[in-house]
Amino acid sequence: MPIDFTCPHCQFTSVVADQYLGQSGPCSECGQPITIQTGSANPYAAPTAPLDHWDDSGDAASKRRPDIGTRMLIPVDRSALSIIAGYLGLFSILCFPAPLALLLGVLAMRGIKKSNGAKHGMGRAWFAVIMGAIFTIVLLISIVLVGYR
């Protein structure tokens, strides 16, 4: 049975499944550590959105984030660095942008982790790191081979 939970730090209220009673984690609204307190469930509580479907701007009606399908197609809540790094990862096949893709991919990953879930794009950042690493190695090998001729 769902339980009403209010963050003691930011007063954000949400409905949490009772399976999470006693568990700890960061509040999706303010990022502070919280523990879902045990208590009686209120079957008559008004439903609210789950913790991961809200942001901190505007009124309650405009706080709804786009669904996952929309976020996959359109870069909503994406880290700008992860978008740039992803494109550089694509172009790293040409070898010369590969080191930059690697660098921006790592910076994007750090920025996404520091945002506490506010930014997305970790897949793009990983893609940039992997492609950047592969083609940086290819670039270095080709430079060494050209130098020995």
In total, how many domains does the chain have?
Answer: 2
Q: For residue 100, tell me if it sits in a domain.
A: yes
Q: Within this chain, do residues 15 and 52 fall inside the same structural domain, yes or no?
A: yes
Q: Within this chain, do residues 40 and 85 fall inside the same structural domain, yes or no?
A: no
Q: Within this chain, do residues 31 and 76 fall inside the same structural domain, yes or no?
A: no
pLDDT value of position 103: 92
Q: Within this chain, do residues 84 and 139 fall inside the same structural domain, yes or no?
A: yes
pLDDT value of position 137: 93
- pTM for the complete prediction? 0.50
What does the pLDDT profile of the chain (149 residues) look like in tens digits? 677 778 888 877 777 777 777 788 888 778 788 887 754 444 444 444 444 444 444 444 444 555 666 666 666 677 888 888 888 888 888 878 899 999 999 999 999 888 887 788 888 889 999 999 999 999 999 999 988 87
Cα dihedral 137/142/144/146 (nearest 10): -170
Q: Within this chain, do residues 74 and 43 fall inside the same structural domain, yes or no?
A: no
Q: For residue 64, tell me if it sits in a domain.
A: no
Task: State the residue range of the domain holding 134.
Answer: 69-147
Q: Which residues pair with 54 in a beta bridge?
A: 64
pLDDT value of position 121: 84
Q: For residue 45, tell me if it sits in a domain.
A: yes
Burial of 11 (0-12, 13-18, 19+ CB in 10 A): exposed
Q: Is 9 helix (H, G, I), strand (E, B) or coil?
A: coil
Question: Encoding tokens for residue 149?
Answer: 């001729």
Q: For residue 103, tell me if it sits in a domain.
A: yes
- Pick from 48, 46, 52, 82: nearest CA to 67: 52
